[in-house]
Amino acid sequence: MSHDTETLSPHAKLVTMANQIAKFMESKPHKEGLEGLSNHINDFWEPRMRRHLFELLDAGGQGLRPLVIEAASLIRRPAA
């Protein structure tokens, strides 16, 4: 893996973070993992971060692991 970018852009950072959570949750039974992931994001991500996440999801979720995309409906969409 090369690290040519200096620091990650906000969206790229959220993709990394969401995928990191997904990787932890993937070792659980599927349903538990889905809930684990969405609860985690609901509990710890400030609305601004969730808003950015939905921008990504709404645009097709490129780069996000399948578990994140699948959990989208369980993640609280912040008030606009």
Partner 1 sequence: MKDFILPDRDFGTPAAKSKTMVSLVIDGFEVTVPEGTSIMRAAAEIGIQVPKLCATDSIDAFGSCRLCLVEIEGRNGTPASCTTPVAPGLKVTTQNAKLAKLRKGVMELYISDHPLDCLTCSANGDCELQDMAGAVGLRDVRYEAVENHFQPRQNGEANPLYIPKDNSNPYFSYDPAKCIVCSRCVRACEEVQGTFALTISGRGFDSRVSAGLKSDTFLTSDCVSCGACVQACPTGTLQEKSVIELGTPQREVITTCAYCGVGCQFKAEMRGDELVRMTPYKHGKANRGHSCVKGRFAYGYASHSDRILSPMIRDSINDPWKEVSWAEAMEFAANRMKGIIDTHGRHSVGVITSSRCTNEETYLVQKLTRAVFRNNNTDTCARVCHSPTGYGLGQTFGTSAGTQDFDSVEHADVIMVIGANPHSGHPVFASRMKKRLRKGAKLIVIDPRRTETVQGAHYKAAHHLALTPGTNVAVVSALAHVIVTEGLFDEDFIRNRCDWDEFQAYAEFISQPQFSPEAVQLLTGVKAEEVRGAARLYAKGGNGAIYYGLGVTEHSQGSTTVIGIANLAMLTGNVGRPGVGVNPLRGQNNVQGSCDMGSFPHELPGYRHVKGEAVRDIYREVWGVEIDNEPGLRIPNMLDAAVEGTFKGLYCQGEDILQSDPDTKHVAAGLAAMDCVIVHDLFLNETANYAHVFFPGSTFLEKDGTFTNAERRINRVRKVMAPRQGYADWEVTQMFANAMGAEWGYTHPAQIMEEIALTTPSFAGVTYEKLETMGSIQWPCNEKSPEGTPLMHVDGFVRGKGRFINTEYVATDERTGPRFPLLLTTGRILSQYNVGAQTRRTANVVWHDQDILEIHPHDAEQRGIKEGDWVKLASRSGETALRATITDRVNPGVVYTTFHHPDTQANVVTTDFSDWATNCPEYKVTAVQVALSNGPTEWQEEYNAQAAKSRRIAAE
* Interface residues toward partner 1, by CB under 8 A: 1-8, 10, 13, 16-17, 20-21, 23-24, 26-29, 40, 42-49, 78
Choose between 44 and 58: whose C-beta lies nearer to partner 1: 44
Q: What is the CA radius of gyration of the chain?
A: 12
**Ordered alpha helix ranges (H), 1-80:** 10-25, 30-44, 47-58, 66-71
Smallest gap, in angstroms, from Cβ of residue 67 to partner 1?
A: 13
CB 14 within 8 A of CB 56: yes
Smallest gap, in angstroms, from Cβ of residue 37 to partner 1?
A: 11
